[in-house]
Amino acid sequence: MQDTVLSVQHLSTSFFTDEGELKAVDDISYDVHQGEFVALIGESGSGKSVSALSILRLVGDPPGKIVGGKVLFHDTDLLQISDKEMQEVRGSKISMIFQEPATALNPVMTIGNQIAEPLRVHKKMSKQQAFREAASLLSKMKIPNVEQRIKQYPMEFSGGMQQRAMIAMAMSCQPEILIADEPTTALDVTVQAQVLEELNQLRLSTNTAILLITHNLGLVARYADSVKIMYGGRILEMGSTYDIFENPHHPYTLGLIRAVPRLDQPKSYGLHTIKGEPASQEDRMMNNCLFVKRCKYATDICWKQQPKAEEISEGHMCACFHADFTAAEREELLR
């Protein structure tokens, strides 16, 4: 493996409300290597967005607060540095794109102005220089008529073009890591594929690591190098894309894969769901397996203890007491 650029260690983020502490992210650890495409998968409320926002310290405080852990960028703990030092990291070393490009771009600033801004702040470029650079970035993102487009406002762009402008903005300072928080969810299916393909091309040419947050397993299988499965604020299983899709061990991962409809299955196979509800706050506060209520393999021990992540093969971790029990289902699913 190449050099580790980001190492998240035991990161925990909570929200403090009138009802008490809500654990959004609970003790997660993973590494991101140079140029790697990492996917963070989980259902709504599983803490994937909050964990990503925590890396850049963008969780709204109050009510959110990072309560523990380290975020090592090279050897610097991003959670320890000053606000000013953090500003120098954001948009320059680590940048981020968001789910809804329509609301994530400032409606009263021109596209060119918004793309040029990080260049002017971080690279100290002059106005003309930054605009020229912004234009070339936009044309790299396959936006036609750049000279004209750059003077327009976000509302004059289509959704796909807005997201491309966001990507151009985030990539403007050639960051080492790009965090993409469900970047294609708000887009058309055809545009989704294009945007992700362009993002991937950009990664390959700049060697920027991508941390993609999504619940689209298809995208993950196609592009990701490694996958983390999040549930209730914790990582249940993680490994290479091959490990997760061809050798899944956690009952939840199996459930997710089973839930993806496939064209080669007979109609009678139907649509599969994972029964039950996502882990509630009460579930998260108790000392048991988070998935226990929805798991068909659950036994007494699952109700009494939290399973530790155990290594199945190199780099493939699974937090389940009964990872062995799933062998039969795995066989059946992947047949």
Nearer to another protein by C-beta: 1 or 155?
Answer: 155
Residue number with CB closer to another protein (53 or 227): 53
Q: Which is nearer to another protein, 119 or 227 (CB)?
A: 119
Cβ distance to another protein smaller for residue 149 or 249: 149
* C-alpha of 301 from chain center: 31
- When the beta carbons of 124 and 335 are compared against another protein, the nearer one is 124
CB of 119 or CB of 318, closer to another protein: 119
Q: Which is nearer to another protein, 57 or 316 (CB)?
A: 57
CB of 14 to another protein, least distance (A): 19
Least distance to another protein, CB of residue 123, Å = 11
Minimum Å distance from CB 230 to another protein? 21
- What is the side-by-side strand order in the sheet with 76-77? 20-33, 4-17, 64-73, 76-77
Min CB(235)–another protein separation in Å = 23
CB of 130 to another protein, least distance (A): 13
What SS3 string covers the chain?
A: CCCEEEEEEEEEEEEEECCEEEEEEEEEEEEEECCCEEEEECCCCCCHHHHHHHHCCCCCCCCEEEEEEEEEECCEECCCCCHHHHHHHECCCEEEECCCHHHHCCCCCCHHHHHHHHHHHHCCCCHHHHHHHHHHHHHHCCCCCHHHHCCCCHHHCCHHHHHHHHHHHHHCCCCCEEEEECCCCCCCHHHHHHHHHHHHHHHHHHCCEEEEEECCHHHHHHHCCEEEEEECCEEEEEEEHHHHHHCCCCHHHHHHHHHCCCCCCCHHHCCCCCCCCCCCHHHHHCCCCCCHHHCCCCCHHHHHCCCCCEEEECCEEECCCCHHHHHHHHHHHHC
Burial per residue of 50-82, b for 16 or more beta-carbon CB atoms within 10 angstroms, e otherwise: bbbbbbbbebeeeebbbeebebbbeeeebbeee
- Which residue lies nearer to another protein by CB, 210 or 319? 210
CB of 10 to another protein, least distance (A): 24
Residue with token string 């794109």: 97
Nearest distance, CB of residue 86 and another protein, angstroms:
8
Nearer to another protein, 86 or 309 (CB): 86
Residues engaged in binding another protein (CB under 8 A): 56, 58, 87-92, 95-96, 98, 100, 103-109, 117-118, 121-122, 153, 155, 166, 169-170
Instruction: Output the smallest distance, CB 177 to another protein, in A.
Output: 12
Query: Minimum Å distance from CB 147 to another protein?
Result: 18
